[in-house]
Amino acid sequence: MNATEPNPVKPKLREINPFPGISSTPSFALFKKTLIFDLCTVKRLIMSVVFMVLVPALILAFTPPDVLSGDEYLVQLLGFTTWYYNFAIMFPIIIIGATGPLISEELRSGTLLLLVSKPINRTRIVLSKFIALCVFGIVVSFLSLSIISLFAVMKYPFADIGEYFGIFILYSLVITLFFGGVTMGFSSIFRRPRNVLMLPLALVIFSFLVMMMFKPLLLYGNNWYEKYLLYNFDIGYHFANIFLMIGKAFVPLNTLLDYFGYIFWMFGITTIDFEGGGTDLNQLITMILWFHLYI
């Protein structure tokens, strides 16, 4: 047969799956495999929940009952530890750690070659893994918050922290989207998990620890933080803003300020431009710009 003959007419192909439902698509198979075999392994789930619950549980266990006089103080105490320790530091680290190997491991081990030879395009490969990551994030935050709430209610029967459950679940999804997205981007470039994790972890440390230390210097005196619009480059500030936006949808603003006021103050929100709304959209746009920059 002559190899240079014109390209023959395409035949009608036998369809493997003429009526594909969601449950039988390659994307769903990849989602399922990522969730069950890569993310929600027993070891990873237990470790994640233990790290998430550890500090709030210790605070609850060692706080004398007479320190707290009512629901407000309990929510304030738990709100701070849950927001700062869990959702600003521990949860992003868990998400980054879980996302890191998702693509880089397939690259390193060579399984990606088999994956790209299957009838699934690259965008769907990334999306299937990313959706599985979001489900993992929700599972971890749900389990952790359930355990923290259970501890709190067991020690302080008057506690009513149920309404904050939804806020934190939604907020955890935002964290997963951001840090998961950033890490997945690096995961597609680097083969070694160490290289993948380095920059996203540095981002967490800078945004939630280093910036926290220098922020008082920037906020007071000449107020460079506001004067030179430095808050636009502060991820922690944006996250606190998003938390406020989500929170306002569930509880009255004043209650939110009472319980989480210290966080909003720490992240510069109440000291800069918080006038009871109006600037949220700007902050959201800046956040989206940040997200695009990372992608």
Partner 1 sequence: MIKEKSSIPEIWTQKLTKIYGRGETSVKAVNKIDISTEPGVHGFLGPNGAGKTSTINMLIGAISITDGKANVKGEAAGSVRARRIIGFLPQDPAFYDNMSGEQYLNYIGELSGLRSSEAKKKTLELLEKLELMGARERRIEKYSEGMKQRVGIAAALIHEPEILILDEPTSNLDPIGRKKVIGDIKTLSKEVSVFVSSHILSEIEQMCVNVTMINKGKIVLADTIKNIKKMHSIKGGRNIIILDTSSNEKVIQQLKEKDFVTNTWIDENDKKIYILSKDIEMLQKSIPKMIIDNNVILREFHQPETSLQDIFIEIMEEEVNNE
Contact residues for partner 1, defined by CB under 8 A: 1-5, 7-11, 13, 16-17, 20, 23-26, 28-30, 32-33, 37, 41, 109-111, 113-121
Distance in Å, CB of 115 to partner 1, minimum: 7
Distance CA 181, CA 187 (A): 10
Complex with partner 1: residue 119 or 276, whichever CB lies closer: 119
Distance CA 189, CA 177 (A): 18
Express the helix, strand and coil content of the chain in percent, nearest 5 each: 80, 0, 20
- How many other CB atoms are there within 10 angstroms of residue 101's CB atom? 19
Distance in Å, CB of 130 to partner 1, minimum: 17
Q: Are residues 174 and 202 in contact, defined by beta-carbon separation less than 8 angstroms?
A: no
Complex with partner 1: residue 37 or 62, whichever CB lies closer: 37
- How many other CB atoms are there within 10 angstroms of residue 254's CB atom? 10
Distance CA 59, CA 159 (A): 15
Distance in Å, CB of 21 to partner 1, minimum: 8
Complex with partner 1: residue 129 or 215, whichever CB lies closer: 129
Q: Which residue type sits at 71?
A: D
Complex with partner 1: residue 29 or 284, whichever CB lies closer: 29
Distance in Å, CB of 268 to partner 1, minimum: 44
Distance in Å, CB of 134 to partner 1, minimum: 20
Distance in Å, CB of 29 to partner 1, minimum: 3
Q: Are residues 66 and 125 in contact, defined by beta-carbon separation less than 8 angstroms?
A: no
Give residue 277's region: left, alpha or beta (phi > 0; psi -120 to 50): left
First to last CA, the chain: 48
For the chain, the farthest-separated pair of C-alpha atoms sits apart, in whole angstroms, at: 91
Tokens of 112: 């990606």
Complex with partner 1: residue 122 or 210, whichever CB lies closer: 122
Complex with partner 1: residue 89 or 115, whichever CB lies closer: 115
